[in-house]
């Protein structure tokens, strides 16, 4: 799945990247090499979105696997995670809209997220709708 990043979103991603590099000067080499923006810095694979709209999953620092392009559901999950991590809500505008007959996802009630352990702040992208927030009827 490839997304189309408009000029406003690219500008927001550049501002976010520049701020991250001020805070963490050791970051950035991979972003430059991939022509991409880091959406998630780890505790699992790193997630990037490229200027040409691909989602890249980098598991090399996590379990030694190669850098790869995300499958469709994984790309949608990655955008949802990226919006949460970066605070750039405009990333969610990249997601496909629900079809006319779609209903809110029965698992996450349209929030895109599920709580991992009741009473704890830990949450995960909904594995039923993969972060879409809707399920086809």
**From start to end of the chain, where are the E strands?**
36-40, 46-50, 55-58, 67-69, 103-104, 113-115, 123-125, 134-135
Taking CA atoms, 116 is separated from 70, 125, 126, in Å, by: 23, 10, 10
Q: The pTM is what?
A: 0.89
Helix-strand-coil split of the chain, %, nearest 5:
30, 20, 45
- For 82-92, how does the pLDDT look when each residue is reduced to its tens digit (9 = 90+)? 999 999 999 99
pLDDT exceeds 80 at position 4: yes
φ, ψ dihedrals at 71, nearest 5°: -70, 170
pLDDT score of 65: 75
Tokens (6 digits) for 114: 């599920």
pLDDT exceeds 90 at position 41: no
Find the mean pLDDT for residues 110-137. 87
* Angstrom distance (rounded) from CA 88 to CA 55: 16
What ranges do the domains of the chain cover?
7-94, 97-137
Quote the mean pLDDT of the chain. Answer: 90
pLDDT score of 42: 72
Tokens (6 digits) for 106: 């029965």
pLDDT score of 83: 97
Tokens (6 digits) for 5: 């990043």
pLDDT score of 44: 77
């Amino acid at each position: 799945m490839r997304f189309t990043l408009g000029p406003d979103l690219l500008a927001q991603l550049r501002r976010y990247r520049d701020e991250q590099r001020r805070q963490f000067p050791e970051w950035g080499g991979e972003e430059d090499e991939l022509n991409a923006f880091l959406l998630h810095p780890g505790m699992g694979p790193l997630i990037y979105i490229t200027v040409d709209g691909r989602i890249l999953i980098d598991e090399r620092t996590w379990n030694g696997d190669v850098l790869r392009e995300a499958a469709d559901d994984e790309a949608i999950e990655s955008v949802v995670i990226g919006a949460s991590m970066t605070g750039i809500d405009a990333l969610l505008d990249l997601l496909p809209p629900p079809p006319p007959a779609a209903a809110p996802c029965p698992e996450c009630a349209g929030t895109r997220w599920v709580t991992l352990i009741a009473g704890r702040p830990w949450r995960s992208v909904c594995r039923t709708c993969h972060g879409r927030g809707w399920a086809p009827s």
